[in-house]
Structure 1
């Protein structure tokens, strides 16, 4: 079953579950506009994150989503657009 809303709390949970969290990064801080690499998430961790988002929310993300969506805010927008049907799958 897919959810209809993807929040920053969902993203933080999925990041922690899939790749853990760098001890030097406070995911509970204001991270919306911080590049994923600065948060300690490299390409492999982001691929795992994308897979978890797809499974949990019942959507399909483009292969280059993390190339284009480099921050949590950008990723939230992409996933939200998918969930609301604003983007063709």
Structure 2
């Protein structure tokens, strides 16, 4: 049995909000040979109303983001960083 590391990220989704949102993050393997392979991250706990642009902007502060994919319920996303 392998154990995967799960990280949490606390943030205020809107600067004026008194509430802190906690996102759960874990590494996500992308297809071998794909651009940015191995640089994926599964993000869960997104607030309702989060869209691809908001997730892109949020994680863009950590490095260039090549792709954001929201699951149909928009509570989870997979984002890939561009390789340097």
Please report the TM-score for the alignment, with normalisation by the length of structure 2. Answer: 0.35
User: Which of 1 and 2 has higher RCO (CA within 8 Å, sep 6+)?
Assistant: 1
TM-score normalised according to structure 1 size: 0.34
Q: Which has the higher helix share?
A: 1
